[in-house]
């Protein structure tokens, strides 16, 4: 199957679409490329991925970051990404490996409805820092409404 080029329209603040360069090479696979300053708008200091999401009730995220910039991809399967900038909310189903969504600062994000084969890949601009997390929704609302 040829990768789709349709981009979701993003309505929440501090987000956007990042499209990877893709080199379709079937029947020998597809290649996806993320280069800093080309596809990825920040220097990458951390990469992590999440797998084994077969639990149909699994929910991840449920937080925002104070300063961190990230881009999230669904490199296998699908999941639903819920975004909330404190004013607007948006729900996106990610299922195309080449299409990433920017998770900028002060954007509450939750991931759910994972397919059994879902693998999430995240590129982050900083190393892990728990102090950068806002895990309390009431605190997040106070911060964005200031
Ligand atoms: C995010 C979404 C998209 C680390 O020690 N180092 C790391 O780099 C990460 C990402 C996590 N952890 C520890 C911290 C927690 O004790 O792993 C545990 C689970 O982390 P968290 O609850 O933040 O995982 P998710 O899947 O809810 O969120 C992750 C990222 O943490 C987060 O930054 O934006 O994916």
Which residue lies with its CA nearest to atom 6 of ligand 1? 128
Q: Is the pLDDT of residue 1 over 50?
A: no
pLDDT in tens, 38-76: 999 999 999 999 999 999 899 999 999 999 999 999 999
Give 5's pLDDT tier (boundaries 50, 70, 90): low
Which residue lies with its CA nearest to atom 34 of ligand 1? 61
> Residue 50 in contact with residue 60, Cβ under 8 Å?
yes
pLDDT of residue 47: 98
Q: CA–CA separation, 96 vs 103, rounded Å?
A: 17
Cα-to-centroid distance, 35 and ligand 1 (Å):
23
List, in sequence order, the alpha helices (H) in 39-135.
Answer: none
Give 146's pLDDT tier (boundaries 50, 70, 90): confident
Q: CA–CA separation, 94 vs 91, rounded Å?
A: 10
Which residue lies with its CA nearest to atom 27 of ligand 1? 61
Q: Which residues are identified as catalytic?
A: 63
pLDDT in tens, 86-96: 999 999 999 99
Residue 90's nearest CA partner among 19, 17, 144, 13 is 13
Cα-to-centroid distance, 62 and ligand 1 (Å):
10
């Amino acid at each position: 199957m040829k990768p789709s080029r349709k981009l979701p329209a993003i309505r929440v603040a501090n987000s956007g679409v990042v499209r990877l360069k893709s080199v379709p090479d079937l029947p020998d696979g597809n290649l996806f490329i993320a280069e800093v300053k080309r596809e990825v708008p920040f220097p990458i200091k951390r990469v992590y991925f999440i797998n084994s999401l077969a639990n149909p009730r699994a929910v991840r995220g449920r937080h925002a970051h104070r300063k961190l910039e990230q881009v999230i991809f669904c490199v296998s399967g699908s999941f639903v990404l819920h975004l909330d900038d404190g004013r607007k909310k948006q729900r996106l189903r990610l299922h195309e490996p080449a299409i990433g969504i920017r998770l900028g600062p002060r954007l509450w994000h939750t991931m759910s409805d994972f397919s059994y084969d879902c693998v999430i890949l995240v590129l982050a601009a900083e190393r892990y820092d728990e102090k950068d997390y806002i895990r309390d929704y009431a605190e997040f609302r106070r911060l964005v409404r200031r």
